[in-house]
């Protein structure tokens, strides 16, 4: 259970810093591994904990977020925890209403339709007032982890959040959101800038609360072509890294490693490697060698096993992991999936993935 000790001594000492060392480009004995959506519906205990509560009510309960964050760590020797939350808490902080509709997913009751709708958004967001529940969840979880592994905080990136705010939910084409980029470029930049400023404060607040690394999710990068990405996504991704780092310095907070995960943006890998993040996350559609060639020696790569590989028999998962480790190399590398775990996955196969990363990377390092 998640107990909260407000000990003035601060947080427990970290016992396993493999993930942080790899993120900073230091040598590691084994390749660290964690999974996007590792706190998730594939675990029966997750479904049980979540059953009684509305999704966003769960997000607003530090105790439940803590419990859900810890569940996968009780089962698997993962090298990092990621706080249980949702990227759409940021649009909520801007004053938009989002509900989770069973069978449909997150739905905005009043998406942005016209440029004038931007005036309905809060122009100045006090992140502690609006998102303090996430900060509390991070502090509680950091204590409850007892130093086992580092805790990752995260946010959605501006374009991805903008696309949800205009589409009103998931979309296969993002046509409404993309039409804004073509029809209303100024208003689009105004919205993206507002989001970037809130995200910056939100991420800095997460570090102040105890997050030891940060991941920015540009999950909808693949809907943009190279030019739109260059205009409407990359500048804000860069600004956030820079602004977060300078604010952390100003506030004398730890300079934590930052990860950028822009799904399906292989056309932008070179730029992402120079965007100010220590780690570049990769989806499963790019060859490891190619990613290394494009990103160079100064960033750590994270990824990129096809999540559907976890449907394979366990021996096969081991073979695929070995191949992936040989292709990326065991150093300056964090093993992960190329996207999140799916709800119908067998937890034992997740365990096989984690154990294969540890076993094969140790073996490769020895020889």
Q: Cβ of 124: how many Cβ atoms within 10 Å?
A: 7
Rounded CA separation 121/119 (Å): 5
**Distances in Å between the alpha carbon of 276 and those of 1, 220, 235, 270, 352?**
37, 20, 11, 12, 33
Asked if 249 and 207 count as a contact pair (C-beta separation under 8 A), the reply is no
> CA nearest 263: which of 340, 193, 186?
340
| 188 token code pair | 């689009």
Rounded CA separation 261/241 (Å): 13
At 304, which helix (H) or strand (E)?
strand 300-305
Number of H helices, E strands in the chain: 15, 9
Rounded CA separation 47/160 (Å): 27
Rounded CA separation 289/279 (Å): 16
Asked if 288 and 328 count as a contact pair (C-beta separation under 8 A), the reply is yes
What DSSP character marks residue 33? B
Asked if 114 and 166 count as a contact pair (C-beta separation under 8 A), the reply is no
Please identify every residue annotated as catalytic: 37, 41, 50, 86, 164
Four-residue CA torsion sign, 183, 155, 98, 48? positive
Residue the block writes with tokens 């890294």? 241
């Amino acid at each position: 259970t998640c107990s909260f000790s407000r000990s003035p001594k601060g947080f427990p000492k970290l016992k396993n810093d493999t993930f942080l060392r790899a993120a900073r480009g230091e040598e590691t004995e084994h390749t660290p591994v964690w999974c996007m959506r590792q706190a998730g519906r594939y675990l029966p205990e997750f479904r049980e904990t979540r059953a009684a509560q509305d999704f966003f009510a769960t997000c607003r309960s530090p105790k439940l977020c803590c419990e859900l964050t810890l569940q996968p760590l009780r089962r698997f020797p993962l090298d990092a925890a990621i706080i249980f939350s949702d990227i759409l808490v940021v649009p909520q902080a801007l004053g938009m209403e989002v509900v989770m509709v069973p069978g449909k997913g997150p739905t905005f009751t009043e998406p942005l339709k016209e440029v004038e709708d931007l005036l309905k958004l809060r122009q100045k967001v006090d992140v502690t007032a609006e998102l303090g529940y996430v900060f509390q969840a991070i502090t509680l979880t950091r204590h409850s982890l007892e130093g086992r592994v580092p805790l990752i905080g995260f946010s959605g990136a501006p374009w991805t959040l903008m696309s949800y705010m205009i589409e009103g939910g998931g979309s296969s084409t993002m046509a409404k959101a993309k039409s804004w980029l073509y029809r209303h470029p100024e208003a689009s930049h105004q919205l993206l800038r507002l989001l970037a400023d809130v995200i910056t404060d939100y991420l800095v607040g997460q570090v102040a609360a105890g997050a030891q690394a940060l991941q920015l999710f540009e999950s909808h990068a693949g809907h943009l072509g190279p030019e739109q990405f260059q205009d409407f996504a990359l500048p804000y991704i860069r600004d956030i890294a820079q602004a977060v780092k300078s604010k952390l310095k100003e506030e004398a907070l730890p300079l934590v490693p930052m990860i950028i995960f822009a799904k399906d943006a292989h056309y932008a890998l070179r730029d992402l490697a120079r965007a100010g993040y220590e780690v570049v996350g990769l989806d499963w559609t790019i060859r490891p060698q190619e990613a290394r060639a494009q990103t160079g020696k100064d960033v750590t790569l994270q990824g990129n096993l096809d999540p559907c590989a976890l449907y394979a028999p366990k021996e096969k998962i081991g073979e695929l992991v070995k191949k992936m480790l040989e292709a990326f190399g065991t150093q300056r590398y964090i093993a992960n999936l190329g996207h999140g775990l799916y709800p119908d996955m067998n937890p034992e196969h997740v365990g096989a993935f984690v154990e294969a990363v540890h076993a094969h990377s140790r073996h490769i390092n020895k020889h």
